[in-house]
Chain A
Protein backbone atom coordinates (compact mmCIF):
# COMPACT_ATOMS: atom_id res chain seq x y z
CA UNK A 1 0.00 0.00 0.00
CA UNK A 2 1.06 3.53 -0.66
CA UNK A 3 2.46 5.62 2.14
CA UNK A 4 3.81 9.14 2.38
CA UNK A 5 6.58 10.25 4.71
CA UNK A 6 7.06 13.84 5.71
CA UNK A 7 10.31 13.77 7.59
CA UNK A 8 9.81 16.98 9.55
CA UNK A 9 6.80 17.55 11.77
CA UNK A 10 7.79 21.19 12.34
CA UNK A 11 10.07 23.55 10.44
CA UNK A 12 11.01 26.98 11.83
CA UNK A 13 12.31 29.45 9.25
CA UNK A 14 13.17 33.11 9.42
CA UNK A 15 11.10 35.45 7.29
CA UNK A 16 12.55 35.96 3.80
CA UNK A 17 14.71 32.84 4.12
CA UNK A 18 14.30 29.87 1.76
CA UNK A 19 12.51 26.72 2.88
CA UNK A 20 12.30 23.11 1.76
CA UNK A 21 9.68 20.72 3.10
CA UNK A 22 10.58 17.13 2.43
CA UNK A 23 8.28 14.41 1.18
CA UNK A 24 8.95 10.82 0.16
CA UNK A 25 6.44 8.27 -1.03
CA UNK A 26 6.64 4.52 -0.81
CA UNK A 27 6.24 3.18 -4.29
CA UNK A 28 7.70 3.79 -7.70
CA UNK A 29 4.50 2.85 -9.53
CA UNK A 30 2.79 5.56 -11.51
CA UNK A 31 1.47 8.13 -9.10
CA UNK A 32 0.02 11.59 -8.95
CA UNK A 33 1.51 13.83 -6.29
CA UNK A 34 0.08 16.78 -4.40
CA UNK A 35 0.88 19.36 -1.79
CA UNK A 36 -2.02 20.74 0.21
CA UNK A 37 -1.85 23.61 2.69
CA UNK A 38 -4.03 24.31 5.70
CA UNK A 39 -3.86 27.87 6.98
CA UNK A 40 -4.99 28.47 10.58
CA UNK A 41 -8.73 27.95 10.98
CA UNK A 42 -9.21 27.13 7.31
CA UNK A 43 -9.71 24.04 5.19
CA UNK A 44 -7.27 22.20 2.96
CA UNK A 45 -6.21 24.08 -0.15
CA UNK A 46 -4.42 22.55 -3.11
CA UNK A 47 -1.01 24.18 -3.43
CA UNK A 48 0.23 22.28 -6.47
CA UNK A 49 0.09 18.90 -8.17
CA UNK A 50 2.16 16.71 -10.41
CA UNK A 51 0.23 14.62 -12.92
CA UNK A 52 2.72 14.27 -15.78
CA UNK A 53 5.20 16.24 -17.87
CA UNK A 54 7.80 18.57 -16.42
CA UNK A 55 9.12 17.36 -13.11
CA UNK A 56 9.25 20.91 -11.75
CA UNK A 57 5.80 22.02 -10.76
CA UNK A 58 4.90 25.57 -9.85
CA UNK A 59 2.04 26.30 -7.51
CA UNK A 60 0.33 29.18 -5.82
CA UNK A 61 1.98 31.71 -3.53
CA UNK A 62 5.44 31.20 -5.03
CA UNK A 63 5.81 27.54 -4.06
CA UNK A 64 7.25 24.89 -6.32
CA UNK A 65 8.00 21.19 -6.04
CA UNK A 66 10.19 18.78 -7.93
CA UNK A 67 9.20 15.22 -8.71
CA UNK A 68 12.14 12.83 -8.48
CA UNK A 69 11.09 9.36 -9.54
CA UNK A 70 14.39 7.64 -8.74
CA UNK A 71 14.37 8.97 -5.19
CA UNK A 72 10.56 8.74 -4.85
CA UNK A 73 10.54 12.30 -3.55
CA UNK A 74 8.41 15.39 -4.07
CA UNK A 75 9.99 18.13 -1.98
CA UNK A 76 8.31 21.52 -1.68
CA UNK A 77 10.37 24.70 -1.89
CA UNK A 78 9.99 28.44 -1.67
CA UNK A 79 12.93 30.81 -2.15
CA UNK A 80 11.71 33.44 0.31
CA UNK A 81 8.99 32.85 2.88
CA UNK A 82 6.58 35.38 4.31
CA UNK A 83 4.77 35.46 7.63
CA UNK A 84 1.57 34.60 5.75
CA UNK A 85 3.06 31.21 4.83
CA UNK A 86 2.57 30.06 8.40
CA UNK A 87 0.47 26.92 7.95
CA UNK A 88 0.52 23.16 7.95
CA UNK A 89 1.59 21.54 4.70
CA UNK A 90 0.55 18.08 3.60
CA UNK A 91 2.15 15.96 0.94
CA UNK A 92 -0.18 13.45 -0.69
CA UNK A 93 -0.18 10.77 -3.38
CA UNK A 94 -2.70 8.85 -5.43
CA UNK A 95 -2.09 5.72 -7.49
CA UNK A 96 -3.17 6.49 -11.03
CA UNK A 97 -3.93 2.87 -11.73
CA UNK A 98 -6.18 2.33 -8.78
CA UNK A 99 -8.95 4.09 -6.94
CA UNK A 100 -9.54 7.70 -6.12
CA UNK A 101 -8.10 7.65 -2.62
CA UNK A 102 -5.50 10.22 -1.80
CA UNK A 103 -2.94 9.11 0.79
CA UNK A 104 -1.67 11.90 2.99
CA UNK A 105 1.48 12.38 5.00
CA UNK A 106 1.33 13.48 8.62
CA UNK A 107 1.90 17.12 7.75
CA UNK A 108 4.67 19.65 8.40
CA UNK A 109 3.99 22.79 10.41
CA UNK A 110 5.87 25.74 8.97
CA UNK A 111 6.67 28.42 11.55
CA UNK A 112 7.86 31.72 10.20
CA UNK A 113 10.10 33.61 12.61
CA UNK A 114 10.25 37.42 12.44
Chain B
Protein backbone atom coordinates (compact mmCIF):
# COMPACT_ATOMS: atom_id res chain seq x y z
CA UNK B 1 0.00 0.00 0.00
CA UNK B 2 1.12 3.55 -0.59
CA UNK B 3 2.43 5.32 2.48
CA UNK B 4 1.56 8.67 3.95
CA UNK B 5 2.42 11.36 1.42
CA UNK B 6 3.26 14.92 2.29
CA UNK B 7 4.00 17.86 0.04
CA UNK B 8 5.78 19.99 -0.49
CA UNK B 9 8.85 18.36 0.99
CA UNK B 10 10.42 21.77 1.52
CA UNK B 11 9.02 25.28 1.61
CA UNK B 12 10.79 28.58 2.14
CA UNK B 13 8.55 31.59 2.65
CA UNK B 14 8.89 35.10 3.96
CA UNK B 15 7.48 36.19 7.26
CA UNK B 16 3.89 37.27 6.83
CA UNK B 17 3.18 35.02 3.87
CA UNK B 18 0.79 32.09 3.80
CA UNK B 19 1.75 28.47 3.34
CA UNK B 20 -0.42 25.39 2.94
CA UNK B 21 0.91 21.94 3.69
CA UNK B 22 -0.85 18.85 2.40
CA UNK B 23 -1.04 15.31 3.73
CA UNK B 24 -2.49 12.27 1.99
CA UNK B 25 -2.97 9.45 4.52
CA UNK B 26 -2.92 5.76 3.76
CA UNK B 27 -6.17 4.80 2.09
CA UNK B 28 -8.73 3.60 4.59
CA UNK B 29 -7.05 5.23 7.59
CA UNK B 30 -9.69 7.26 9.39
CA UNK B 31 -7.23 8.73 11.89
CA UNK B 32 -4.93 11.49 10.73
CA UNK B 33 -2.47 13.39 12.90
CA UNK B 34 -0.26 16.43 12.53
CA UNK B 35 2.93 16.82 14.50
CA UNK B 36 5.68 19.42 14.41
CA UNK B 37 9.33 19.51 15.32
CA UNK B 38 10.82 22.90 15.89
CA UNK B 39 14.62 22.99 15.62
CA UNK B 40 16.31 21.16 18.47
CA UNK B 41 13.13 20.34 20.31
CA UNK B 42 10.76 17.43 20.68
CA UNK B 43 8.29 16.32 18.06
CA UNK B 44 5.01 17.69 19.36
CA UNK B 45 1.39 16.86 18.69
CA UNK B 46 -0.71 19.45 16.88
CA UNK B 47 -4.05 17.80 16.17
CA UNK B 48 -5.97 14.64 15.41
CA UNK B 49 -8.74 14.05 12.87
CA UNK B 50 -11.14 11.15 12.86
CA UNK B 51 -12.45 11.16 9.34
CA UNK B 52 -13.36 14.79 8.73
CA UNK B 53 -13.88 15.73 12.38
CA UNK B 54 -11.31 17.28 14.66
CA UNK B 55 -10.97 14.90 17.58
CA UNK B 56 -8.30 16.84 19.43
CA UNK B 57 -6.70 20.12 18.46
CA UNK B 58 -5.16 20.92 21.80
CA UNK B 59 -1.66 21.13 20.34
CA UNK B 60 -2.37 23.85 17.78
CA UNK B 61 -0.11 26.75 18.81
CA UNK B 62 -2.41 29.66 17.92
CA UNK B 63 -5.13 30.81 15.54
CA UNK B 64 -2.67 31.38 12.71
CA UNK B 65 -2.82 27.63 12.13
CA UNK B 66 -5.85 26.13 10.39
CA UNK B 67 -6.23 22.44 9.64
CA UNK B 68 -8.90 20.91 7.47
CA UNK B 69 -9.81 17.47 6.25
CA UNK B 70 -12.69 17.88 3.88
CA UNK B 71 -14.36 14.61 2.97
CA UNK B 72 -12.21 12.70 5.40
CA UNK B 73 -9.45 12.04 2.91
CA UNK B 74 -6.46 14.34 2.57
CA UNK B 75 -5.73 17.10 5.04
CA UNK B 76 -4.26 20.56 4.74
CA UNK B 77 -2.51 22.67 7.34
CA UNK B 78 -2.45 26.37 6.59
CA UNK B 79 -0.24 28.86 8.37
CA UNK B 80 -1.37 32.45 7.91
CA UNK B 81 0.51 34.69 8.43
CA UNK B 82 3.71 32.75 8.97
CA UNK B 83 6.14 33.84 11.67
CA UNK B 84 9.82 32.99 12.13
CA UNK B 85 9.04 30.63 15.03
CA UNK B 86 6.87 28.50 12.76
CA UNK B 87 9.97 27.11 11.07
CA UNK B 88 10.41 23.40 11.58
CA UNK B 89 9.43 20.04 10.20
CA UNK B 90 5.74 19.23 10.01
CA UNK B 91 4.88 15.56 10.09
CA UNK B 92 1.63 13.93 9.18
CA UNK B 93 0.68 10.44 10.31
CA UNK B 94 -2.26 8.12 9.91
CA UNK B 95 -3.63 4.98 11.50
CA UNK B 96 -6.51 2.63 10.88
CA UNK B 97 -7.22 1.94 14.54
CA UNK B 98 -6.59 4.10 17.56
CA UNK B 99 -3.29 5.83 17.12
CA UNK B 100 -1.98 4.98 20.53
CA UNK B 101 -0.85 1.65 19.04
CA UNK B 102 1.51 3.55 16.75
CA UNK B 103 1.19 5.54 13.58
CA UNK B 104 2.60 5.52 10.05
CA UNK B 105 4.35 8.81 9.43
CA UNK B 106 5.01 10.70 6.26
CA UNK B 107 8.40 12.11 5.32
CA UNK B 108 7.52 15.55 6.61
CA UNK B 109 7.52 19.07 5.22
CA UNK B 110 10.44 21.24 6.17
CA UNK B 111 9.15 24.80 6.53
CA UNK B 112 11.57 27.68 6.71
CA UNK B 113 10.24 31.15 7.42
CA UNK B 114 12.74 33.93 6.65
Contacts and interface: CB of A to CB of B under 8 A. Distances in A.
Interface of A: 4, 32, 34, 36, 42-46, 49, 51, 90, 94-96, 99-107
A99 B54 CA distance: 13
A57 B11 CA distance: 38
Interface in B90-111: 91, 93, 95, 98-108
B108 A49 contact: no
B106 A43 contact: yes
A43 B100 contact: no
Interface string B54-65: 011001000000
Contacts of A42: 107
A65 to B, nearest CB: 13
Contacts of A103: 42, 45
Nearest to B33: A100
Contacts of B93: 44
Contacts of A4: 42
A61 B114 CA distance: 39
